[in-house]
Structure 1
């Protein structure tokens, strides 16, 4: 299973996702441009030495990323969906896509996805933190597919 971050803007969020994926055994795709320099110390500070235990692939843009998908399904997590992530059947080779913190993904990227899911939350709030959303989504997908680490 892979996590893809579309044009992430906050180094600390990316670091937290890298650490999460190191712990859970998921690869990470970073779709540029990013809102910070890759060598930003905040990425390494948040990811700590876990960054050495996760496969990270950087893509120059969405087109370069899309060329790597192959037969895998691209599953977008968005507040604009009505389908709950908890009523969706995940597959072990799914790619879970998360948009940039300030704006999500553009309509053409959303349209190219095989499914668009929402993490249920109270209606009074707008959205969750990127790393928190990734943890909830990845945990559910790995649980469903029997791929959780021991």
Structure 2
């Protein structure tokens, strides 16, 4: 990020938005910077408030934000995004490279699982899962199907933590190596199973569950404990329970 004047910053935003990742709000920008994102432009209508947040919540980034965030008029900020985040800051970053993600997913030995979302349909849930995966130290999040896990709504829900873990859409035949454990109501109680560090943990879509192809390929089916007559957990909740059972970061 380089210092630019407000007028040039607005012009650069329009020029740079196609293909860029929009970081919506202070926490998304904070996480992206902490995990090495290439942030090209950061704008706010109240730089003093941004720096106050940094002093309170991210003092490691205060100097970077002081140098890099450009203050523009509030009206200009409102014209750039459909809805300005309450923290009044937004940024543009370069999407994490596919080659880097694939290398990280395939690295061996793998010390933490990969979360697989099989044809997810809800972008907010995808972002929530990315946030969980980052918090638990999972190697990455892989999605199948036609939904882009880097869609702006998913990145918003992930609070910038797409840059903290490898997030990639992949076909079933391109999955990284490792035993595939699929969550399914007909599986063995997860509490009876030790989940290995190199596991692929697969979760079905919110409405249709696991695809037949993925279910057939699974090395094991696991079930989360659930009260009878309750049909299912939220996707992000299921991922959180499974990663908690695995063990999380040491």
Structures share a fold, TM > 0.5? Answer: yes
Find runs of 4+ consecutive structure 1 residues off by over 3 angstroms: 37-40
Q: Name the CA distance, whole Å, in 1 between partners of 2:166 and 2:120.
A: 17
The 5-angstrom pairing of residues 90-129 of structure 1 reads 90-129=195-234
In the alignment, the residues of structure 2 paired with residue 24 and residue 10 of structure 1 have an alpha-carbon distance, to the nearest angstrom, of 21
**Structure holding more helix per residue:** 2
TM-score, scaled to structure 2: 0.52
Which of the residues 31, 34, 46 maps onto 2:144? 31
**C-alpha separation between the residues in 2 aligned to 1:127 and 1:94?**
23
User: Cα 1:51–1:39, aligned 2, differ >3 Å: closer, same or farther?
Assistant: closer
The aligned counterpart of 1:139 is 244
Structure 1 residue 63: deviation in Å?
Answer: 2.5
Per-residue Cα deviation, 1:84-107 (whole angstroms, up to 9, x for no partner): 111112111011011111111233
Deviation, 1:39, is 4.9
The structure, 1 or 2, with the larger RCO (C-alpha pairs under 8 Å, 6+ apart) is 1
**Separation in structure 1 between the aligned mates of residue 183 and residue 155 of structure 2, nearest angstrom:** 25
- Asked if the contact 1:32/1:62 (under 8 Å) is kept, the reply is no
- The reply to whether residue 149 of structure 1 matches residue 249 of structure 2 is yes
Aligned to 1:76: 182
> Is residue 132 of structure 2 the alignment partner of residue 20 of structure 1?
yes
Give 1:79 shift. Answer: 1.9
* Equivalent residue pairs, number: 137
The Cα shift of 1:149 comes to 2.0
Aligned twin of 1:52: 163
Alignment RMSD: 1.5
- 1:79 is paired with a residue whose SS is strand
CA distance 1:94–1:125, change in 2 (3 Å): same
In structure 2, relative to structure 1, the CA distance for the partners of 1:44 and 1:106 (3 Å cut) is closer
Using the size of structure 1 for normalisation, the TM-score is 0.84
Q: Over alpha carbons, which structure has the higher Rg?
A: 2
